[in-house]
Amino acid sequence: MKITLVGTGHVGLITGTCLAEIGHMVTCYDVDRDKIQLLKRGCLPFFEPGLNEMVKKNTENGRLSFTYSIRDALLNSEIIYITVGTPMGTDGQIDLNYIYTASDQIAEHITNKVIIVMKSTVPIGTNRIIKERIQAVSSGRASIEIVSNPEFLREGTAIHDTLFAERIIIGSDSKYAAEVVEKINQPFDIPIFKTDLQSAELIKYSSNAFLATKISFINEIAQICERVGANIEDVAYGMGLDSRIGSKFLRAGIGYGGSCFPKDVSALIQTATMHNVDMNIIKAANVVNQHQQVVLIKKAKQRFGSLHNKKAAILGLSFKPNTDDIRDSPAVRVMNILLDEGVQMTAYDPVAIENVRKLFGDDIYYSSSIEGALVNAEMAFIFTEWEEIKKVPLSKYKELMSSPVLFDGRNCYSLEEVSQYPIEYYSIGR
């Protein structure tokens, strides 16, 4: 099928590329001309493992193209995916301005029967609003059906999550539209669940809120472990053996971040509040995560007292491995606090350095290697469990730091291994 994607960010580019991979003719549109020119030159605007090769393959075979002309993008298009960003505003509510702009652009240029597929994560009820908005702006020039088809991509594994997903959710009040989108996705050979618009919207938010709650739960148990002398890794493993619970998302650490969990949890709470529903469990998960992100600061202050003029190595800046995304990264939040405390920081990350440099400028130092960040440091913080960080020999901390004090926010090293080295080691729940 001929498919147009409006919005070529993380979700849009990956979705479009994977749809081209299974045989569809895909045009990716974005208002950002620099981004489109970059893609036309074969360069990606963000880091995602395996994506560069797949984009190159499908542009060369003619199934994937890019444009900043909305007219060209929508010419004779019958299937239009909306994949623009839905950031969280300062008031905690979802900013739908990009969604409204995209829908108005679509309405101005369509003249035929069109199915709008909402891939962006939007508050419950938004799809109905968008359908009415497009119909009003288009003045009846086109027949509109809308489908909610939420994404469940994890940055760093997004291609795998698309090609080998556990389910595809299709929500629509139109049987015809739902069947068309089902046909589009059939080559993935993934279980498809069809439902109504609101349920599809809520499945996305509920899924992320549950996973966020699971993370916060195990982090609260980690606090008990530290007080009573238990090991959170053993506790989580024992819990995970129960098939009703499972082991995923039971890793204690400094909490969740990124572009999805914080935003989606906040949006679900906002929606519930609008409908006079208390979300006590989800609110608590959010509060626990806020506290958890700064737990290493508390540990450092207990160890050093004043942190003023201390030299710190910061290892890992992205909110998770295999991405350069620093949105709501715990590392960024903690670094801002460390700056206020007067800490001199040298930061390292395999791919996120430039994004962090845009935030902090010359307020911190940057290193092109882990070893460079550790030299003469009085303390080191691990915020992101990149494989190369996890593989750093503990002897390096002793060898390079002026005082080997390590605050590990991701429990990268086993306690048994650490006990063999003259290192002060502080982790989570152990």
The residue from 18, 28, 225, 260 that is catalytic is 260
pTM of the entire predicted model: 0.93
Q: Does position 111 have pLDDT exceeding 90, yes or no?
A: no
Q: Would you state the pLDDT for residue 139?
A: 80
Confidence bin at 234 (pLDDT 50/70/90): very high
Q: Kindly tell me if the per-residue pLDDT of 37 is higher than 80.
A: yes
For 62-104, the pLDDT digits (tens) are 999 999 999 999 988 889 999 999 998 877 789 999 999 999 9
Q: In this structure, what is the dihedral angle of CA atoms 412, 10, 263, 274, given to the nearest 10 degrees?
A: -150
Residue 45: count other Cβ atoms within 10 Å of its Cβ: 15
Provide the pLDDT for residue 92.
73
Task: Report how far residue 16's alpha carbon sits from residue 27's, in angstroms, rounded to the nearest whole number.
Answer: 8
Say which range, 89-103, 159-173, 184-198, 383-397, has the weakest mean pLDDT: 89-103
Convert the pLDDT of each residue in 122-132 to its tens digit. 999 999 999 99
Residue pLDDT, tens place only, 133-178:
999 888 878 889 999 999 999 999 999 999 999 999 999 999 999 9
**Which residue did the predictor score with more confidence, 112 or 116?**
116
**For residue 122, what pLDDT is reported?**
95
CA 194 to chain centre: 25
| pLDDT score recorded for residue 328 | 93
Report the alpha-carbon distance of residue 353 to residue 421 in Å, rounded: 30
Task: Name the average pLDDT for the chain.
Answer: 96
Closest among 401, 425, 427 to 311, alpha carbons compared: 401
Q: Report the percent of the chain where pLDDT is more than 70.
A: 100
Domains in the chain (CATH in brackets) are 2-195 (3.40.50.720), 203-291 (1.10.1040.10), 293-426 (3.40.50.720)
Q: Are 39 and 28 in contact (CB under 8 A)?
A: yes
- Dihedral sign (CA 22, 27, 32, 36): positive
Active site residue 260: yes
Smallest Cα–Cα separation from 76: which of 174, 179, 3? 3
> Would you tell me how many other CB atoms lie within 10 Å of the CB of residue 217?
17
Would you state the pLDDT for residue 89?
82
**pLDDT-derived band at 361, boundaries 50, 70, 90:** very high
Residue with tokens 């440091």: 377
- Looking at residue 76, its pLDDT comes to 83
Report the alpha-carbon distance of residue 333 to residue 311 in Å, rounded: 18
List the single range of 8-17, 163-172, 261-270, 348-357 with lowest mean pLDDT. 261-270
Torsion of CA 386, 391, 397, 401, to 10 degrees: -50
Per-residue confidence (pLDDT) for residue 138, from 0 to 100: 84
DSSP state of 326: -
Distance CA 364, CA 357 (A): 8
Cβ atoms of 193 and 168 closer than 8 Å: yes
Cα–Cα distance measured from residue 330 to residue 409, given in angstroms and rounded to the nearest whole number: 10
Q: Is the pLDDT of residue 333 over 80?
A: yes
* Segments in 143-279 forming alpha helices (H): 158-163, 175-185, 197-228, 232-240, 261-274
